[in-house]
Structure 1
Amino acid sequence: MIREWKDSTIKRFLKEGRGSGEGSEYKSWLQVQDINSQGRSTRTYSYKSQRVIHLLSDLQLYYWYLLEFDDMVLDVREQFPLLDFHEMNIPIDQELEKKLFSTKTDVPHVFIVSFMVTRIDQSGNSFYEARAIKSSTELTKKATIERLEMQRRYFEKKQIDFGVVTEMNINKQLARNIGWVLTAYDIQDYPNLVRNFLYLKEDLLRYLSNHTATFQMVFQRIEKDYQLDEGLGLILFKHLVATKQIKLDLNRKIDMSRNVEEYRIELPGIKSGGDKHAVNG
């Protein structure tokens, strides 16, 4: 990570538009290229926000998967800077006041929250929530606690809900499964799937309605019926889950050798009770 904030660095970031905008126009304040290579960082595309997302740890990645898949989330702004922090006149004691400026350069610290999330409530009204992603070991450090306390006071004054998320609060299996299906959200690179999509979808849904079949058997059948390359049945399935056209239990590891019925799969327009066609392995 950037070791020492300089006035020139902050001015450059502001000139680049970092930390500003919403949706596809937002630019992350910290980006992957700003981070030392030994860190765990990821660039990934958000179909919700329509732009590349910059995530600086595995925990951030896992939590972002949950946000990306959440229908009540409209937008996510990662590495969000509190650029007006020093203008907010936040009550800070003498000990915390020492943390407001760099001891080396005297440049004001730019505090960053991991995610600024735009959500909607049940009535369709939008609101913000801020989330700091930290490992539980980080919360044993005095400096981390002090930074989080300043953020808490900032968001309290802004009347924005603020919370700290650790690995204890993240369902990692759910997050991994979401990340797994999102790799097939866009299937434009598979012309055979795009060309026959409606027929493929209809037949795949019908085959999946036979709950005694395994996923593997279903995918082999769809590939055989449509003369698809091996693996395209799985990609089609992942795409339908990623786009919420199929729902199933994503809280457990998905094993292709297991029966469909074990995952409480929900298929639109298909009544449970079995497929009239037998699925042969």
Structure 2
Amino acid sequence: MTVRPTLPPSSSCLPAQPLAGRCVVTTRPAGQAAGLLSALAALGAEPLNFPVIGIQACDPAPLRGLDLAAFELAFFVSANAVAQTLAVRPRADWPATLRVATVGPASARALEEQGFAQVIAPTTGFDSEAVLALPEFSADALAGRQVLILRGEGGRELLAETLRLRGAQVSSLDCYRRVCAALDPAPLVARFERGELAALVFSASEGLRFFLEIASTAGRAMLAALPCFAPHPRICAALQAAGAACPILTTPGDAGIAASIAANLSDPSV
């Protein structure tokens, strides 16, 4: 796979508004793009969210009936998992002895905002592999422990399978599903055809799949013509398979993604 690595986002080498006049299109769910949009706007961009992913709650009955006291560790796969779970089982339902963990800074902040302290989360990587490298997820730490994974429907099985191999007793519960949003692509396509779009940003592989369902042939033309940024190698691989000319791997996190885009779009070769 040919993936262009992100350029070092050194602010000392960039103008104060390196993205001035550039329309950067993000694809996060509605209500979940504010941090990235703000980071892009701070660098002068015209950020435009095209929210291709819709989030739907799963049947709440299994979660309502769950005995949380039976578990010693609860892992939330995303900020969506936090929001959907706590909407059904508020903070007061959670035993003080039940430790909580998650995959990255956004979901950790979501847990902290709900009143959870000492959230376990990786400081780099922000994926299942990074979580599994934490000492709290070692075989010595988890052998014989009851672990609850709160996730989206159809998510990766790597975490659950690895924890079972390490001796944990793992229960997984789907608390939300991702669906293709009902969007009219015509305004976005028109801006692309007028040459007004500078880049596309995909934060999830599902976002790419839904983007192509919505925008169809025009979407593939955008992938081929515009710089496409993603914060994880798996998304870059999906982009390349979908026809992106050269996906660009960014630094993770909202500020890192924005800075990586600024560094690359300021490079004359992009």
TM-score category, normalised to shorter length: under 0.3
Structure scoring higher RCO (CA < 8 A, sep ≥ 6) equals: 2
The structure with the largest alpha-carbon Rg is 1
Q: Give the TM-score taking structure 1 as reference length.
A: 0.24
